[in-house]
Amino acid sequence: MNILLLGYGKMGKIIGEIAESRGHHISGKINIDNRGDLDTLDSSKIDVAIEFSQPDAAFENISWAISKGIPVVSGTTGWLDKKQDIDDLTVKNATAFFYASNFSVGVNIFFKVNKFLAGLMKDQEDYKISLEEVHHTEKKDAPSGTAITLAEGIIGQIDRVQDWKLSDNGEVPSGSLPITAKRIDPAPGTHIIRYQSEIDDIEITHTAHSRKGFALGAVLVSEWIKEKKGVLSMDDFLSF
C-alpha cells in the first residue's frame, strides 16, 4: 500500500517506520518545510494519507487529500471546530475520513471504562470529579484531544456536569469539569480521572509508555480504511 505522511515529526517518523516494517511504501513525507511538494505528487498513486501534523496545518492538509479523493486517517487535535467542513467534503468527494483523538487500542478501551464508571457515579453527588492529563512539552494544544474525549464521556453520563474547563488549580464554576493539563518531558501521555469525596477516592488511569501504540494503531486503521467510504471513527474500527 502507498502511504502519504502529512506531518513528519516524531509521530510521523514512527508511523513511517512501522508502515515500512509491515511492507508498505511511503509515497511522500510532508512537513512545514516542504509542503509545496504536494503539487508534484501523483495522487492516483496514493492509497491513503496519514495526517499527524499541527493544529494550524491539519485542516489544509486534510482538505487537500480529501479533495483528491485520497482516504485520510487523522490524529491531529486542536482543529475540530472545522471538522464538519471536512465531513461534508468527504461525502462530496466519495472518499473516507477517519479521525481519532487517540489511536491506541488501550486508550479506546479506557474511553469505555470511563463512560461505564461515569454511569455508575451519576447519582453520587458527594464526589467531586476532575481530570488530569500529562504530555510532553512539544504538544501544542491543551487539553489534549484524549482528555476532551474523556470529558465528553463523563458529560454524557452525568447530568450535573454540563461542560469542561481548563484549570491550573482545579477550581472551575459549578457544573463544569476541571481539566488540569501538564507538560512534562518525556511523558508520551497520562490521563487520570478522579472522583473524590470526604469518605474515599476513586481513580482510573491510563499511562502510555511510548508513542508506538498510537503509531501502530494509525497504520492498522490505514490498512482497514482503504476500500471504505464515509466519515469513520474508532468505534467503527473496533466495532464498539
Residues involved in catalysis: 135, 139
Neighbours of 113 (CB within 10 A): 13
Cis peptide before 178 (omega within 30 of 0): no
Residue 107, C-alpha cell as written in the block: 486508550
Q: What is the DSSP letter of 22?
A: T
> What are the angstrom distances between the C-alpha of 235 and each of 12, 204, 231?
23, 21, 11
Are β-strands 48-51 and 25-30 bridged in parallel, bridged antiparallel, or unpaired? unpaired
Q: How many residues does the chain have?
A: 240
C-alpha cell at 40: 508534484
Q: Which amino acid is at 101?
A: S
Residue 118 amino acid letter: A
135 vs 187, 206, 219, CA distance in Å?
A: 5, 12, 22
C-alpha cell at 163: 461542560
CB 4 within 8 A of CB 50: yes
